Amino acid sequence: MRPVRLMKVFVTRRIPPEGSAALARAADCEVEQWDSDEPIPSKDLERGVAGAHGLLCLLSDRIDKKLLDAAGANLKVISTMSVGVDHLALDEIKKRGIRVGYTPDVLTDATAELAVSLLLTTCRRLPEAIEEVKNGGWTSWKPLWMCGYGLTQSTVGIIGLGRIGQAIARCLKPFGVQRLLYTGRQPRPQEAEELQAEFVSTQQLAAESDFIVVACSLTPATRGLCNKDFFQQMKKTAVFVNISRGEVVDQDDLYQALASGQIAAAGLDVTTPEPLPTNHPLLTLKNCVILPHIGSATHRTRNTMSLLAANNLLAGLRGEPMPSELKL
């Protein structure tokens, strides 16, 4: 006899197979999924979540008061397949006593690898070089042609020395980085000692770094942190990389800094909005490399994220400790 399914779960997108399988095995849950790789329209999301006990969402799903009202009083658990939680109305969620699961740690290494890949791609001008090969611009070896900037004996500044920031620092060490600077809400002496990193002000980091990597969380304090004043303090030869959240950067100010030669180049894995419109001015610049938010995009990492998100959801529904619960 088929077991009675007591708890409704709504999943806002197709997720990797390990997470899907974990949900399918849950005999105490009735799982409904938006069966598409594309985002669910808001009206369909409101209909899908109505009466649900659990919601598994992605960072592109805005979970606000309106959606929580549509879900109703049954909703006990929200599990997001992301480490970032700026898409969740946390104050409203806390007020309703809803538990939240997220996926830290499991995407740290993949995101750090991508950050270093993007940094090297940008500073060594790889997209430009590839295009020159394709369009016939490669005519012979030239001493000054396609020169970029190298990491050896450089100063690297990291904004946000959390899990991902530390992993980026470790990845960069073998490249012969001479000096590592970091900034954030407060010094992290234990981590800094291991990485031989110096805690400095944002202004000093901007002024002294050859390469800057933004790896902080999006908060009211970091929103718009990298703006005209910030870019004016940077070296003209400096390279800027953002793998955190698009809203940390004022993109109009970044465009002006790049177009005017105020800074050398930028690499972005995150933008505002996402996806970035194809007619956006930043896409006209040769010295700006933009990726479609693929920091955690390895098969292993995405599978692990989906499994952790599923296990967080199921544990929360069953009143058990979640593997990774966000404490509200």
- Tell me if 39 is assigned to some domain: yes
Residues 118 and 265 in one domain: yes
Residues 131 and 242 in one domain: yes
Q: What is the pLDDT of residue 6?
A: 81
Q: What is the pLDDT of residue 111?
A: 97
Question: Is the entire prediction scored with pTM above 0.85?
Answer: yes
Number of domains in the chain: 2
Mean pLDDT (the chain) is 96
Tokens of 216: 């902080």
Low-confidence ranges of the chain (pLDDT < 70): 1-5
Residues 224 and 303 in one domain: no
Q: What is the CATH number of the domain that holds 161?
A: 3.40.50.720
Range of the domain at 45: 7-105+299-326
Q: What contacts 259, CB < 8 A, 6 or more positions away?
A: 281, 285
Q: What contacts 114, CB < 8 A, 6 or more positions away?
A: 243, 269, 291, 294, 295, 296, 297
Residue of 53, 87, 280, 293 with catalytic role: 293
Q: What is the pLDDT of residue 4?
A: 57
Q: What contacts 198, CB < 8 A, 6 or more positions away?
A: 179, 180, 181, 182, 192
Residues 146 and 230 in one domain: yes
- pLDDT, tens digit, for every residue of 200-247? 999 999 999 999 999 999 999 999 999 999 999 999 999 999 999 999
Residues 175 and 58 in one domain: no
Which contiguous run of DSSP H or E holds residue 304?
Answer: helix 299-317
Residues 114 and 97 in one domain: no
Tokens of 286: 């040769």
Q: Is 53 a catalytic residue?
A: no
Residues 218 and 260 in one domain: yes
- Tell me if 2 is assigned to some domain: no
Q: What is the pLDDT of residue 1?
A: 45
Residues 154 and 77 in one domain: no
